[in-house]
């Protein structure tokens, strides 16, 4: 009896086409040319005797049979990745997490001493990246932090919503403005008019989101000055160059030391959340310990 197992090389190419939605995306993921992806895809279709994709002049989409097959293939590769990760994991090595630079520097690392006090046997190794996706085998990481409005993968834990507020060095704030919510324990509003707006090119819409939530605030600069990361924008605010839009948790220490001043009460939700991404399957002991500690620190909830 013939073995029904398909050719695994072309199957991987098909999986990448289904995952990325294009030959170009699959070629980039596999580090090959687009014609090479197309050839391997046709090879798989010939082996199966089934058309998996509709080919148009400028687009490619899965057939009905191809879409059903793609779901099974993705699940199979997910199982294989999880099994390989478990096989190659080094329980004596560091627990490797990949995150955004600012989140790692200003949120995670200041809290890590508390994790070590609770779990002195687990060493955490932090790397930074703005890449939107993560491949746990390729990237050799045990967990990752991403922001997205919805869960970016199936094996994910929601940590907290991304909320932002404006801050500036006290010396940069011109005038006192009228108090907002005085007598109710809320912070006094300070004028933003005349201040350069500082932000991150990674999150360029945060000032627009804040403006939309505060239509009563007038006199704002037309466009923010964007830096290559929120950390740089925060540093610019510390130097008195303007007002930065950032999650309040990133500048807790600077506010406490009065190096930055909050310019409006409350914070505005951006529509994104911070997510902890883990490999498919049951979490390892170290992953579960890190997940539970993060949830406690973030005040988040488990999906």
Provide the terminal-to-terminal Cα distance of the chain, rounded to the nearest Å.
Answer: 45
Instruction: Map out the domains of the chain with their CATH numbers.
Output: 8-88 (1.10.10.10), 92-303 (3.40.190.290)
Looking at residue 139, its pLDDT comes to 83
pTM above 0.85, yes or no: no
Structure tokens at 137: 């085998």
Please give the chain's pLDDT, 303 residues, in tens: 456 788 888 899 998 888 888 888 888 888 888 889 889 999 999 988 999 988 876 668 889 999 999 888 888 887 777 666 665 555 668 999 999 999 999 999 999 999 999 999 999 999 999 887 888 878 889 999 999 999 887 788 999 999 999 999 999 986 444 443 343 333 444 578 889 999 999 999 999 999 999 998 888 888 999 999 999 999 999 999 999 999 999 999 999 999 999 999 899 999 999 999 998 888 889 999 999 999 999 984 444
Looking at residue 120, its pLDDT comes to 94
Separation CA 219–CA 158 (nearest Å): 36
The closest of 24, 87, 40, 21 to 281, measured between CA atoms, is: 87
Looking at residue 105, its pLDDT comes to 96
Separation CA 57–CA 269 (nearest Å): 41
Is 270 in contact with 162 (CB distance < 8 Å)? yes
Separation CA 100–CA 295 (nearest Å): 18
Looking at residue 131, its pLDDT comes to 83
Residues in the chain: 303
Looking at residue 87, its pLDDT comes to 59
């Amino acid at each position: 009896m013939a073995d029904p197992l398909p050719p695994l090389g072309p199957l991987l190419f098909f999986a990448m086409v289904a995952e990325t939605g294009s030959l170009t995306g699959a070629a980039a993921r596999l580090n090959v040319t687009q014609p090479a992806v197309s050839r391997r895809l046709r090879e798989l279709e010939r082996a199966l005797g089934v058309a998996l994709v509709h080919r148009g002049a400028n687009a490619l989409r899965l057939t009905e049979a191809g879409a059903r097959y793609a779901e099974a293939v993705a699940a199979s590769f997910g199982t294989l990745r999880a099994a390989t990760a478990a096989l190659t994991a080094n329980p004596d090595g560091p627990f490797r997490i990949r995150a955004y630079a600012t989140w790692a520097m200003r949120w995670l690392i200041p809290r890590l001493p508390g994790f070590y006090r609770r779990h002195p046997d687990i060493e955490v190794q932090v790397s930074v990246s703005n890449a939107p996706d993560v491949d746990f085998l390729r990237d050799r990481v045990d967990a990752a932090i991403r922001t997205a409005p919805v869960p970016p993968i199936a094996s994910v834990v929601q940590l907290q919503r991304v909320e932002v507020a404006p801050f500036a060095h006290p010396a940069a704030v011109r005038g006192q403005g009228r108090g907002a919510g005085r007598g109710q324990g809320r912070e006094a509003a300070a004028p933003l008019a005349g201040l350069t707006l500082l932000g991150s090119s990674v999150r360029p819409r945060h000032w627009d989101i804040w403006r939309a939530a505060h239509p009563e605030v007038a006199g704002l600069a037309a466009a923010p000055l964007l830096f290559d990361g929120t950390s740089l924008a925060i540093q610019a605010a510390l130097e008195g160059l303007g007002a930065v839009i950032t999650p309040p948790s990133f500048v807790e220490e600077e506010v406490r030391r009065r190096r930055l001043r909050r310019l409006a009460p409350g914070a505005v939700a951006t529509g994104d959340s911070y997510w902890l991404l883990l490999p498919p399957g049951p979490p390892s002991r170290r992953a579960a310990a890190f997940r539970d500690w993060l949830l406690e620190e973030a005040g988040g909830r488990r999906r």
